[in-house]
Amino acid sequence: MSENDLGIKIGLEIHVQLTHLKTKLFCGCSTDFRGKEPNTNLCPICMGLPGSLPVLNEQAVKDAVALSFALNTQVQSKMLFFRKNYYYPDMPKNFQITQYDKAGGVPFSVNGKVKMENSKEIRITRLQLEEDPARLSYEGTIDASTATFVDYNRAGISLIEIVTEPDFGSPKEARIFLDKLRSIVESLGISDGALEGSMRCDANISLKGGIRVEIKNISSFKEAERALNFEISRQKSLIAKEIKVKRETRHWDEVRRITVSLRTKEEEQDYRYFPEPDLVPITLPPELLDKIKLDMPELPENLKDRLVAQYRISIANAKILAENKEYAKYFEQCGKIYHDANEISNWVVGDLIPSLAKRNISLQTAKIPPESFCGLLKLLDTGQINRSTAKTVLDEAIDSGKAPDAIVRQMGATKITDETTILQIVNKIFEEKPTAVQAAIKDPNAINYLVGLTMKATKGQADPKVINQVIRMKLEAG
Ligand SMILES: [Zn+2]
């Protein structure tokens, strides 16, 4: 059965942590919790102690506006917060301050759309601001652990929740969208997707118009694709055995790479939403929205189009460069130093980025400034090194931070093009291999053997074209 025959419908609910904010959504506590002592960034507000009052983080609102524009959702003029009540150790207040309420609440923004590469449009249902719950961790897997650990440092950090319509036809398509979303939030400078747990998602999936199953607790986008693939094979085998797929919420266990049932629909909680009495409704001034719209940074889609138009590089290269602002910036810096933008883009996309990925480092931590990188391209352009040597030099430059010409000198890897040097080597070979020389005099095809010997003697550094010329010259001279 192909994926199309299965009638796969996937919807996503993504939580983007506003990692660049210094303080939490409703208090002044630090958001810097990764790798820190647990339960140290706390105050009466994020702990929900009696008498404490939340104060809304202004920048979080501006970020939500910017992301709304980027996802083409309509920002609602009135902003309201609601309490979602539930009793669970990850929420010290026993309620979460959020925005949506099924009974007449107003999300932050609604009805957006994001265009995919194949021009398919993914509909964005809504976007809203809310606070992150505490971080729960386990010893090993969730159901084998004897204890649950809670770190309230994360409780109260700003989240933007994005809900899509069930428009994805495959786990792969969902993953492409998630990666796209990551590059959008990174280009807006509101979240760093590389930080653990900064972008999490829940997913819902149905096959053949059947029952929708929710998958919770997916910690990264890579895991999302895995979880959805697992869920498809699970539901497929149930359908094959004519067992009804149950309406339920399942947990993604990334250690065992399976989904396990958390609760069935009948047990679904009633969150008793009601307007948060400690936060007044806010009307967003149109001037503020206009200003944010005017100050929007270049989004990956526009950046890609501009790179293609301005530098005449391939769409495929431009797309990869535009996905990460740092890459695009680096490419443009190189473009000011070296004349061939196409060659730069090919080497950045085809060699530099994969080399960095192999080392698990970013462009910022790699020790190869644009000047060095362009120096390498110049060595290649002037024929001083060949492509395979250039790749070795690039690796060495990334690791050592040395300039490529210095590395080449050290390696003695400069391509030998000098006729006199090559002639000396050829002379030696002619002396050592008289039979091969005789053969070449009789049969022009036998010359390749002599070229090969010369290449070997120069450890592949000599230019084969020059070797050929020198040998022919010598044969003709007799
Ligand atoms: Zn606090």
Tokens of 55: 């104060």
In terms of average pLDDT, the best of 82-91, 136-145, 236-245, 332-341 is: 332-341
pLDDT the model gives residue 3:
57
Ion ligand 1 neighbours, Cβ < 5 Å: 27, 29, 43, 45-46
Instruction: Give the tens place of pLDDT for each residue, 24-44.
Output: 999 999 999 998 999 999 999
Which are the contacts of 448, defined by CB distance < 8 A and separation ≥ 6?
Answer: none
> Is pLDDT of 385 > 60?
yes
Distance from the alpha carbon of residue 138 to the mean position of ligand 1, in angstroms: 24
Q: How confident is the model at residue 102 (pLDDT cuts 50, 70, 90)?
A: low
What's the CA-to-centroid distance between 21 and ligand 1, angstroms? 14
17 CA from centroid of ligand 1 (Å)? 16
The confidence score (pLDDT) of residue 467 equals 87
Neighbours of 42 (CB within 10 A): 19
Element (DSSP H or E) covering residue 258: strand 258-264
User: Beta 135-138 vs 78-79: how paired, if at all?
Assistant: unpaired
Q: How many whole angstroms from 188 Cα to the centroid of ligand 1?
A: 26
What local confidence, expressed as pLDDT, does residue 104 receive?
63
* pTM recorded for the entire structure: 0.80
DSSP string of 166-211? Answer: S-BSSHHHHHHHHHHHHHHHHHHTS--TTSTTSEEEEEEEESTT--
- Closest by CA position to 292, among listed 108, 459, 59, 38: 59
What's the pLDDT at 167? 97
- What is the rounded CA–CA span in Å between residue 235 and residue 232? 5
Task: Please state which CATH number belongs to domain 419-477.
Answer: 1.10.10.410
Domain boundaries, given as residue ranges, for the chain? 9-292, 298-411, 419-477
CA of 48 to the centre of ligand 1 (A): 9
